[in-house]
Amino acid sequence: MKLLILALCFFSSLALAQNEATVSVIAVGEAQDEKDQVYFAPAKVNGVLTATQQKTMDEVLSLVKNDFAFYKHRFDFATSKTATTVNVMFDVKGSDGGVSIQADVTKGEGKELGSVKIVAGGTSLRDEGHKLSDKIYRSITGKKSVFLEKIMFVSDRSTMGKDTRKELYTMDFDGRRVERLTFFNSTVISPSFSPDNNDIIFSLIQSHVQTDRKNKETKNIDLRMYDRKTKKFTTVSGHPGVNSGAVYSADGKSIYFTLTTSGNADIYEMNLASKDLRKITSHYADDVDPTVTADGSSMSFLSNRAGRAHIYIMDPRGTEKNVRRVSFVGQFNASPRYSPDGKDIVFTSWVDNGFDLYRIDSQGNNLVRLTKDFGSNEEPWWSPDGEFIIFTSQRVLSRTKAIQDIYIMNRDGEVLGQLTQDFGRCFTPRWTN
């Protein structure tokens, strides 16, 4: 059972999208609020653009529309300007950096919502295009979008024959511009971003030479940290056994993770400055895979206290404080994740001979099934605005071959696109914060 729970919590898959994600409705979600009607007007060009500038303009405006298509549960595209539409008017002219694009956002006949501007060209095209989308979105909603976020994941694409290798990668929120971060030629599992997105904490299966046992080589799951600015790695926790499943506290000063130093798997809090440990769970069962609400008052985790892996919540400010089981669907569960506002938990459950995604509220009520007849679906993770969920989905092609890619859905189960393709098996997708 210990191996089963650890496998449920610590392993998943990846692939690179060559094109923007395409929209296709797979699952039936809940009824939606009334949508805003958004009209993107044809661009008004001032002066004459070169062929390169014209291409840059077309690509940026196409990117903006594709970005907004991800929020199709919030917006409908209007074909003309009316008294009720949100209108986005583009004013374009050539510049030394490529093209200057100003977007004026109004509501109805003239209520001004915002005016934003970017200069895009060359290698800055996608960055500036996503910035333009985000500025327009903020003008309409007053909130931050996901357009500037990154997604981190693990892929086994560098595997050499029987030498399985799983390394860490990042990509844009829409699956483009994949970048490899690690070259350990080993197995990376269970990554997580720090609150400021500068650091990535992850576990690495490493070989250790025990000099007290005549140089015997053993495997250990160490907790490592990667500084994205300095590109340096440090070891955070190397206790014998498993050091894994780490997530940060909201202030970034501590982490919650699983240790097996006591014989079974328990969850601890570690102060990153002092390395002091505080035991949060203390039970003969295995307790793994924590997520903690932003205010630090509640932690969800996975445990086999009921005989199989199910989801529990507790107050992590004490040891075994107010522990309560909240999942009662399927034979066993995995990967419980609190939403950014702490109101919901998304998780994986084994139902009908396969894994599917479900959502419940923070008290274990109002169960919603998010996937069905869409392969084997695991490892969900919320976007920082709580509007989207990324997850892995596996398709079995034969007795010896299966593919596993990363997909994105909105919070109600409408699958919006496949983010990876032909990039090996992909695991543990994570958003930036």
Do the domain assignments include residue 393?
A: yes
- Indicate whether 153 and 112 sit together in one domain: no
- Indicate whether 307 and 177 sit together in one domain: yes
Cα 341 to Cα 194: distance, rounded to the nearest angstrom: 17
Do the domain assignments include residue 83?
A: yes
Do the domain assignments include residue 324?
A: yes
- Indicate whether 85 and 158 sit together in one domain: no
Range of the domain at 424: 2-23+147-431
Boundary-marking domain end, from 91, 114, 141: 141
Residue 234 sits in a domain whose CATH number is 2.120.10.30
- Indicate whether 366 and 267 sit together in one domain: yes
- Indicate whether 134 and 192 sit together in one domain: no
Q: What is the pLDDT of residue 397?
A: 75
φ, ψ for residue 413 (rounded to 5)? 95, 10
- Indicate whether 136 and 177 sit together in one domain: no
- Indicate whether 271 and 357 sit together in one domain: yes
- Indicate whether 337 and 262 sit together in one domain: yes
Do the domain assignments include residue 389?
A: yes
* pTM check: above 0.85: yes
Cα 164 to Cα 154: distance, rounded to the nearest angstrom: 12
- Indicate whether 94 and 152 sit together in one domain: no
Boundary-marking domain end, from 123, 141, 159: 141
Q: Could you read off the pLDDT tens digit of each residue along the chain, which spans 433 residues? A: 333 344 444 333 323 233 333 333 334 444 456 789 999 999 999 999 999 999 999 999 999 999 999 999 999 999 999 989 999 999 999 998 899 999 999 998 879 999 999 999 988 999 999 999 999 999 999 999 999 999 999 999 999 988 999 999 999 999 999 999 999 999 999 999 999 999 999 999 987 655 555 566 778 999 999 999 999 999 999 999 999 999 999 999 999 999 998 889 999 999 999 999 999 999 999 999 999 999 999 999 999 999 999 999 999 999 999 999 999 999 999 999 999 999 999 999 999 889 999 999 999 999 999 999 888 999 999 999 999 999 999 987 777 788 999 999 999 999 999 999 999 999 999 999 9
Q: What is the pLDDT of residue 234?
A: 97
> Number of structural domains, the chain?
2
Do the domain assignments include residue 29?
A: no
Q: In this predicted model, what pLDDT tens digit does every residue of 63-86 receive, in sequence order? A: 999 999 999 999 999 999 998 999
Do the domain assignments include residue 28?
A: no
- Indicate whether 104 and 13 sit together in one domain: no
Q: What is the pLDDT of residue 108?
A: 86
Closest CA to 405 of 369, 377, 372: 377
Do the domain assignments include residue 312?
A: yes
Boundary-marking domain end, from 107, 141, 175: 141
- Indicate whether 158 and 284 sit together in one domain: yes
Which residues, in sequence order, are bridge partners of residue 237?
A: 223
Residue 116 sits in a domain whose CATH number is 3.40.50.10070
Q: What is the pLDDT of residue 109?
A: 81
- Indicate whether 130 and 190 sit together in one domain: no
